Structure 1
Amino acid sequence: MEALKCLLPQTVVGIVIVSHSKQLALGVRELAAQMVQGQVPLAVAGGVDDALNPLGTDVMQVHQAIETVYSDAGVIVLMDMGSALMSAEMALEFLLPEQRNNIRLCEAPLVEGAVAAVVCAAAGGSIEQVLAEARGALAAKASQLGINVPTTQQPEHIEEPSEIYFKEEYTKEIHIAVSNRMGLHARPAAQFVATSSRFEAQIKVKNLTKNTGYVRADSINQVAMLGVRHGHELAISATGADADAAIAALQALVENNFGEGDTPLHESQIHATPDETFISTAAPTLRGIPASPGVAIAPSLRYAMAPLVRHQLPSVQSQQYYIDNPDREWEFLQKALSDAATEIEVLLSQTSTQIGDTEAAIFDAHLLFLNDPVILEALHHYIYVRHINAASAWQAVVEELTNQYRTHYDSYLRSRAADVIDVGQRVLRLLLGTAAAHLNLTEPSILIATDLTPSDTAQLDTSKVLGICTTAGSATSHTAIIARSLGIPAVVGVPEGILRVADGTIVALNGGTGNVWVEPSVDIITAIEAQRSAWQSSEQRAFRNAHKNAITTDGRRIVVYANIGGVADAKVAISMGAEGVGLLRTEFLYLERKTPPSEEEQLKVYQGITQVLESRPLIIRTFDIGGDKPVPYLNLPSENNPFLGWRGIRFCLDRTELFKTQLRAILRASAEGNIKVMFPMIATVGELKAAKAILLEVQQELQQKEIPFNDKIKVGIMIEVPSAVAIADQLAPIVDFFSIGTNDLSQYVMACDRTNPQVASLADALHPAVLRMVQQAVKAAHKAGIAVSLCGELGSDPIATPILIGLGLDDVSLNPQAIPRCKKAITQLSFIEAETIASEALKQESAAKVRELLRTFKYS
C-alpha cells in the first residue's frame, strides 16, 4: 500500500480522480498536475475494460489508484456521479481499518475540486484542509458570476514546509541564484545531492522561480524534478547541528557554478546549422528534431534490441511473487545494485577517454541513482512490507519514477526519463540474469530506433554508425549530447513510420535541419550529396588550421596530440588534425572480458593504430588498472581508498607476467611504428627503475628469440602524483619525456576523489596549487633536456590554452574533438603574452579567480 509514497514528500495528501470516462479522468489529472508541477501524487480510475462499452467504473481500479498514492498524509477521492461513488465506497472495503480512516470521499465538483485540492496539498495542507478547499472550489466561480452559494469553513493557515518540518532545531536558510549555463542538469544535480549527503542536517530545497514545494536535497530524482535552469533562484534550508556548514558548502558549490562555465547554452549551440546551403530544397520523407549536426547517407539498420530501447521496462509480471525471506531478496537486490555500479564505473571510464570528463559525468548521476535514499526506501517497503520479489519491486519503482519524468511539465526533465530507463534496464537485467545486449555492425549504417539510452550511445562505433534516427528523444537529452560529442549526425522525434523501414533501405538524414529521406530518388540523392559536400566544406573551414602546425604569433610551435582508447579513436584523431597520439589508454583492452588479453590480441591492436597513424608518434601507456577502473577477473581487493591503493605501476610491478605480456606486445609493435612507452602512477625513483628493469628483461628475451623490435624505444612517465613532482629533478635524467596527467594530479594535490561528486569540484586543474605543480615539473624536465607534455582534461579546455603555453609545455594531448579549437587558440596568441597570463594565474588564490583572469583575456 505505502510503497510508492516514498517517491514523493510523505506529508503530501494524495488525490484520486474517479470517472466513468477514462479520457475525462486523465484530462482532469493533467489539468491538476499542471497547477502544482508534479508536487502532489495523483492517480485516476476511469472507464472499464470493455471495447464496446468503455464508460463505467471498476472497484479494483479505484482500489489500485488509492494504493498508488497512499501515504500517512491520507488520500482524497473525487468522483463524478452514480456508480463512481459506489465503486469508491466498495474500494474502501479492501483496505485495512487504519487505512480506511485515512481516506476521504469528497463530493466536490470533479474539475474545480481536483484543482483546489492539489494546490492545497502542494502547500502542505492536512487532509482536512485539502477536503475543505475542494468543497469550497465553486466559490470563486460563483463570485465571478454574481451567484451566492453557501461557503464551507476555510482551511487554517497552511505553514510553509520549513515551518512544519523544522520547529525545534536550529534552521538556516539561504536564497541563491543558479548561474551555470544549464542549471541543475545531471552533473550539477549529482554534485548538489552528494554535497547535501555529507551532512547530518536535514536539507531541503525548492525552486523559488518556479514556486515549487520543498524536496529532499539528498534525492537525485527530487532535486532534478525541480527543473532548475540558468537564472532560477533556489531556497536551500538546513536544520540540525551542522546546518551552517551544510549551507556554506552548498552556497560555495552554487557560486562556483558547479565547476562549469557561467555562459548560458544558446539555442544555436543545440541546433547548429553551419551553412545556409545546408538547408535542402529536396522535400524530406519525414521530419524530426535536429539533435546533432551533420549529413549521412547509408543503409538503415533497426536497433531491434527491445526491450532495451523502449520507454517501458520489460514486463516481469509472470515473475512477480510473494517472498518468504525478504532478507535474502534484499541481499539479491544489493548485489545487483553493486554489479550495476561496477558496470557504470567502467562505462564512465571509457566515455571519459572517448569524449571527455564533462560529458562522461552524465554517468555520475547514474551512479547516484543507485544510492538515492528515496528509491531505496520505496524498494525496502516493497520487499519487507509487501513481500514482493526484488525484480518486481525494482520495476515498479522505476516505472513510477519514469512516468513522473515523462509527464513533467518541463521538456528538459522529460528527456531525463531516458536516464532513469537506462539505469533501470541495467539493474533489471542483472536481477533477471540476462546477458547484456550489444550492437555489432558489420558495415556503415544509419541506426533507426525508438530511442537510445545514454549507455547505448556512448558505446557506438563511430566508424560504423554514420547517423542516428529515433522516434523519441530531444535535442537536450543526454543521448543527443553524447552523439554531438562523438560527431554522429542525429535526428530525434521522427514519426513512427520510420520504424517500419526494412533493414538495408537507403536512408539519408540532415542532423542540422531534422530532415530524413527514405529511399531518396536520384535527384534527391544529388541534392543531399551537395548538402554533405557543403557540410564537409563547412567542417573544413572550421578545421582549416587543424591539419596545420599550431604556431603562436611569435613563432613558437606547440605539438598537439590526441588521447585515444582504440583504433576507431585513432581514425577520428587524425581526421581532427592530431599530430600523433600522446596517450593510448590501454585499459580498454582489459575491460568487459573474463580473462586478460593475450600478447597477440594486444599486438594486433597496437599495429592497427600504427597503421592509421603512419609515421606519427604513438605513446602507449601501460595499463592503469585500479582506482576508477575495476577489473573483476584480476581479483583486485576491495580498498577503502582505491585511488591511493594498488593501482597503476604498483599493480604491474606485483603482477609481472601481465606486465611482461603487454610490454612484449608493445615492443613487437615498435618494430614497425613510431612507438614510445609510458609508465603510469610513478611515485618513486625505485618504481621507475624497477619498471625499466622489467622492460630491459623483456627486450633481452626478444633478442634471444630474434624477434624484431626498436631497441631505442623512448621511455617516459606520467607525472600525476605529487611525490613525482617533488622529485622530478631525480626522475627526469632517467627518462626520455614527461607527460603530466592533470586529472589525477588535481585530485592528489587537492586530496579529493575526482569521481566522488561530494568533493569532485575541488579537483580543479586550474587551481593555482595544481598549476604550480605543472610549472615545477616543466622546469625539471627542461633542465634535464627532455620534452614535457600534458595529457589531462585541462588540455581540452580552450580557456586554459594560454596558461599551458605560458608554463612552457612542449606539447599537449587531448580528446580528438577538442583539437581544432585548441590549435586555433594557439595560433591566436603569442608566447610572451601567454607567459604573462600564466604568471598572473600562479598568483591567484583559487581556481575561480584563475577563470576570472582568463575571461578577461581576449583572443585577437
Structure 2
Amino acid sequence: MSVLLNGLAASNGIAIAPAYLLVGPDLSVNQQYSVNENHEVERLHDSFALTLNEVQAIHQHAHVTLGKRAAAVVDDQLAILRDRSLHAEIIEKINQEHFTAEWAIKKTADDRLKVLEKMNDNDYLSSRATAIKDVTKRILGHLMGVKLPDPTQLDHRAIFVAQNITPTDTAQFDRRFVAGLVTNEGGRTSHFTIMSKTLALPAVVGTQNATKVINNGDLLIVDGIHGKVIVRPSTEEVDHYQRLAAQFTREQNEWGALKDEQTVSTDGRHFKVVANVGTLAEIVDARQNGAEGIGLVRSEFLYARDEHFPSEDGQTKAYKQFLTEMPGQRVVIRTLDIGGDKKLGSLNLPQENNPFLGFRAIRIGLARPEVLRPQLRALLRSSVYGQLAIMFPMIATIEEFRQARQILDEERQRLIEQGVSVADDIEVGMMLEIPSSAVMADAFAREVDFFSIGSNDLIQYLFAADRGNSQVAYLYQELHPAVLRLVKQVIDAAHAEGKWVSMCGEMAGNPLATPLLMAMGLDEFSMNSSNILHIRSLINQLNTRQLQPLVHKAINAATASEVEQMIRQEVPQVRK
C-alpha cells in the first residue's frame, strides 16, 4: 500500500523513479576538552585545509559540468573557509577554553547560527546558515575520520532522499541520473531553489520523516507542484501522475511562449507581473521565467556577507548590476528591512519582547541615519544605469515617510553639488504592510509615487497572528473579506491620486487571488519567479469587467472559505 508524505514544493515538476538515500554518518559532538592545545590547533588547520581543497574541487566540477551559476552555490562555503576571523574565533576557544577542535568548531558554528537561523523570510540569510552547517559537517567529517555521502556515486536514474541536501551535494549532481529531490528538513533556501531549477528537478522539502519511511530502491512519485511524495505508489497512481506530468510539460511549453508577450486581460487591461529577488542569481531566474520587471529587491543580502556594513561604493556596484540586468524595466529596491528577530552581526540591536512590532526596518534607518544615508546615496548613484524605484519599508505614519523622503532629497542634492549624476525620474514609494497605513491610504497616496502592498505582514498584523507560529497559522487567510476590503481600499485610494499599486507578498502569486486583484485594479503582481508564467497565463484568460460582480460578493462574504468557493465556482480557469 502506498504512503503519502506532505512537504513544501521547492521546485515545480513531477518525477517517477526509485529512491536513492543520501544519508550521512552521525556527526554529533559532545562537550570535550583537551590539555594539548597545540595539537588541537594543528588538527584544526589540517581539517580546514582538507575541506577547502575538497570544496574547491567540487566548485570546479560544478563549473565544468553544470555551469557558472551552479558553481556559485558553493561560493559561501569557500568564503567561510577563507574567513580569518572564523579561524581566530575557533582557535581562541581552543587556547582559552581548552576545547577540542571538534567542540570548538561546533560551538562557534552554533553561535553564528543563532544569529541567522530565525531569518527564514530572507533567502540569502537562510542560505548563509545552510552554508555554515555544510562547512561544519565537512570539517567534522575530516576531524572524526568518517566518510560523508557522495552524490557522484549514483550511476542510475533515481530520486535523492536525504535529511537535508546541501550546496556541496547539489554541486556534485550528475544531471543524467538525478530525477528529483526529497528532504526531511528545509524550505526554499536560495541554493536549493537555484540548483533544482537549473537542473529542472522536481523537489519537495520539509517532509520531516522521508528518510525513515523510504527505503533504497522504493519507487517514488515526487509532486513538486503540490508538495507531495508518494512512496511505493499503486499502478493507478503511477498512471495518474504520468498523465499529470504530460499535462505539466504542455503547460510549461504554453507558458514559455508568453515570455516575450505583454500581460493583457481579454478586455484589454494591461498588467505587470514582476519578480521578488534577493540576490543577483535570482535576476537570471526572473528573466528566464518571463518577469516584466523587478517589484522587490531585498537589499538585506548585502549586509549579511560579513561582520561589517557594506561600503557605499560596494552597494553602488551591486545596485548597478541589478539595474543593468533588467534594461528598460523598472527595478524596485527596498531599503534595509532588518531588525527584531532578523539581526545582523554588523548592527547592534536591542533585545525585544515583541520584535515584529519593535525596532526594525525604516525605524532603524531614521533613528540611525548612518545606516540609511549611505544606502540612499548608493541607490542614487546607481540610478543612471536603469529605471530605479526606491521603496521604504514598514512605514506607519506620514511623518516617517516625509522624514525618509527628506533624507533622500538631502543626499540627492549633495551628490548633485559634488558633480555626481543622478537620474531625475526615480520613483519613491512605500511598503504598505501596517493596517493603520492602509486605513490612511488616501492621505499617503498624495505623497508617495506608488504603494507596494506587503500582504504577508499586512495579514499577520490585521489578524494579530504571527505567520510563523503553527498554532495560529489558520488565521493567515489571504482570501478573508477583511483582507480584500483593505486591499481594495488601498488600490482605490492610490488610483484616485493617479498612483500605481503593486503587491509583493505571497498573495500576489496565489492564483485564487488573481481574479479578485485584477478586478480591483491592482497594477502590478510581484512574486517568486517560479509563479510568474502561471499568473501571466491566467491573467491573459480573464476579463476584468466580468469579474467585478465577484469582487462585490467576495468583500461582502463572511469567511475566507466562502470566498474561495465563489472563485472556484465562477472562475473555472483557476487551478491551485
TM-score class normalised by the smaller sequence? 0.5 to 0.7
Q: Alpha carbons of 1:425 and 1:689: their partners in 2 closer, same or farther (altered >3 Å)?
A: closer
Q: Alpha carbons of 1:469 and 1:652: their partners in 2 closer, same or farther (altered >3 Å)?
A: same
Paired residue secondary structure (1:803) = helix
Tell me if the contact between 1:628 and 1:755 (Cα under 8 Å) persists in the aligned partners.
Answer: no
Are residue 585 (structure 1) and residue 298 (structure 2) matched? yes
1:662-811 alignment to 2 at 5 Å?
Answer: 662-811=375-524
Paired residue secondary structure (2:321) = helix
1:300, CA displacement in angstroms? 6.7
Counterpart Cα distance in 2 of 1:554 and 1:272: 41
Paired residue secondary structure (2:502) = strand
Q: Alpha carbons of 1:434 and 1:547: their partners in 2 closer, same or farther (altered >3 Å)?
A: farther
Q: Deviations over 1:21-74 (max 9, x none)?
A: xxxxxxxxxxxxxxxxxxxxxxxxxxxxxxxxxxxxxxxxxxxxxxxxxxxxxx
Counterpart Cα distance in 2 of 1:592 and 1:455: 23
Paired residue secondary structure (1:620) = strand
Paired residue secondary structure (1:607) = helix
1:850, CA displacement in angstroms? 2.2
Are residue 343 (structure 1) and residue 119 (structure 2) matched? no
Name the residue aligned to 2:32. none
Q: Deviations over 1:392-443 (max 9, x none)?
A: xxxxxxxxxxxxxxxxxxxxxxxxxxxxxx89957976998999xxxxxxxx
1:542, CA displacement in angstroms? 3.4
Tell me if the contact between 1:449 and 1:469 (Cα under 8 Å) persists in the aligned partners.
Answer: no
1:760, CA displacement in angstroms? 2.9
Are residue 477 (structure 1) and residue 189 (structure 2) matched? no
Name the residue aligned to 1:595. 308
Q: Deviations over 1:259-305 (max 9, x none)?
A: x9xxxx9xx952189xxxxxxxxxxxxx98799xxxx9952799999
1:539, CA displacement in angstroms? 4.8
Counterpart Cα distance in 2 of 1:430 and 1:744: 37
Which residue type is aligned with residue 566 of structure 1? Answer: T
Tell me if the contact between 1:340 and 1:426 (Cα under 8 Å) persists in the aligned partners.
Answer: no
1:418-457 alignment to 2 at 5 Å?
Answer: 448=152, 457=166
Tell me if the contact between 2:333 and 2:389 (Cα under 8 Å) persists in the aligned partners.
Answer: yes
Are residue 844 (structure 1) and residue 557 (structure 2) matched? yes
Are residue 551 (structure 1) and residue 264 (structure 2) matched? yes
Segments of structure 1 that go 5 or more residues without pairing to the other structure are: 1-181, 188-259, 274-286, 309-329, 355-359, 368-421, 436-446, 493-510, 513-534
From 561, 564, 572, the counterpart of 1:858: 572
Counterpart Cα distance in 2 of 1:753 and 1:665: 34
Which residue type is aligned with residue 344 of structure 1? Answer: E
1:345, CA displacement in angstroms? 2.3
Are residue 832 (structure 1) and residue 545 (structure 2) matched? yes
1:432-581 alignment to 2 at 5 Å?
Answer: 448=152, 457=166, 475-477=181-183, 486-489=196-199, 539-581=252-294
Tell me if the contact between 1:563 and 1:814 (Cα under 8 Å) persists in the aligned partners.
Answer: yes
Counterpart Cα distance in 2 of 1:595 and 1:575: 33
Are residue 642 (structure 1) and residue 408 (structure 2) matched? no
Counterpart Cα distance in 2 of 1:850 and 1:536: 31
Counterpart Cα distance in 2 of 1:427 and 1:606: 29
Tell me if the contact between 1:653 and 1:691 (Cα under 8 Å) persists in the aligned partners.
Answer: yes
Q: Alpha carbons of 1:546 and 1:842: their partners in 2 closer, same or farther (altered >3 Å)?
A: farther
Counterpart Cα distance in 2 of 1:687 and 1:706: 29
1:759, CA displacement in angstroms? 1.9
From 5, 10, 15, the counterpart of 1:271: 15
Are residue 299 (structure 1) and residue 5 (structure 2) matched? no
Counterpart Cα distance in 1 of 2:169 and 2:444: 39
Q: Alpha carbons of 1:538 and 1:798: their partners in 2 closer, same or farther (altered >3 Å)?
A: closer
1:778, CA displacement in angstroms? 0.7
Which residue type is aligned with residue 315 of structure 2? Answer: Q
Tell me if the contact between 1:648 and 1:681 (Cα under 8 Å) persists in the aligned partners.
Answer: yes
Q: Alpha carbons of 1:333 and 1:751: their partners in 2 closer, same or farther (altered >3 Å)?
A: farther
Which range is displaced more, 695-704 or 332-341? 332-341
Tell me if the contact between 1:552 and 1:831 (Cα under 8 Å) persists in the aligned partners.
Answer: yes
1:852, CA displacement in angstroms? 2.4
From 651, 665, 680, the counterpart of 2:364: 651
1:673, CA displacement in angstroms? 1.0
Tell me if the contact between 1:677 and 1:713 (Cα under 8 Å) persists in the aligned partners.
Answer: yes
Q: Alpha carbons of 1:467 and 1:550: their partners in 2 closer, same or farther (altered >3 Å)?
A: farther
1:166-181 alignment to 2 at 5 Å?
Answer: none
Paired residue secondary structure (1:739) = strand
1:603, CA displacement in angstroms? 1.1
Counterpart Cα distance in 2 of 1:682 and 1:732: 13
Tell me if the contact between 1:796 and 1:818 (Cα under 8 Å) persists in the aligned partners.
Answer: yes
Counterpart Cα distance in 1 of 2:484 and 2:285: 30
Which residue type is aligned with residue 65 of structure 2? Answer: P
Counterpart Cα distance in 2 of 1:715 and 1:695: 9
1:350, CA displacement in angstroms? 2.8
Paired residue secondary structure (1:613) = coil
1:236-251 alignment to 2 at 5 Å?
Answer: none
Counterpart Cα distance in 2 of 1:774 and 1:608: 33
Aligned residue pairs total 441
Tell me if the contact between 1:772 and 1:842 (Cα under 8 Å) persists in the aligned partners.
Answer: yes
Counterpart Cα distance in 1 of 2:301 and 2:411: 23
Which residue type is aligned with residue 859 of structure 1? Answer: Q
Q: Deviations over 1:587-614 (max 9, x none)?
A: 1111242111111111111111112101
Counterpart Cα distance in 2 of 1:745 and 1:600: 34
1:538, CA displacement in angstroms? 8.3
Q: Deviations over 1:220-243 (max 9, x none)?
A: xxxxxxxxxxxxxxxxxxxxxxxx
Counterpart Cα distance in 2 of 1:843 and 1:758: 28
Q: Deviations over 1:552-576 (max 9, x none)?
A: 1111111111111122111211111
Which residue type is aligned with residue 433 of structure 2? Answer: E
1:333, CA displacement in angstroms? 9.4
1:831, CA displacement in angstroms? 0.2
Counterpart Cα distance in 1 of 2:550 and 2:172: 41
Q: Deviations over 1:794-849 (max 9, x none)?
A: 11121211011122111111111110000001011100232222222212222233
Q: Deviations over 1:479-514 (max 9, x none)?
A: 89955785132679xxxxxxxxxxxxxxxxxx99xx
Tell me if the contact between 1:736 and 1:787 (Cα under 8 Å) persists in the aligned partners.
Answer: yes
Name the residue aligned to 2:56. none
Segments of structure 2 that go 5 or more residues without pairing to the other structure are: 23-61, 78-102, 144-150, 155-159, 203-220, 223-247
Counterpart Cα distance in 2 of 1:845 and 1:639: 36
Which residue type is aligned with residue 475 of structure 2? Answer: L
Which residue type is aligned with residue 647 of structure 1? Answer: R
Q: Alpha carbons of 1:835 and 1:629: their partners in 2 closer, same or farther (altered >3 Å)?
A: farther
Counterpart Cα distance in 2 of 1:548 and 1:488: 23
Paired residue secondary structure (2:461) = helix
Tell me if the contact between 2:289 and 2:529 (Cα under 8 Å) persists in the aligned partners.
Answer: yes
Paired residue secondary structure (1:723) = helix
Paired residue secondary structure (1:573) = helix
Which residue type is aligned with residue 199 of structure 2? Answer: P
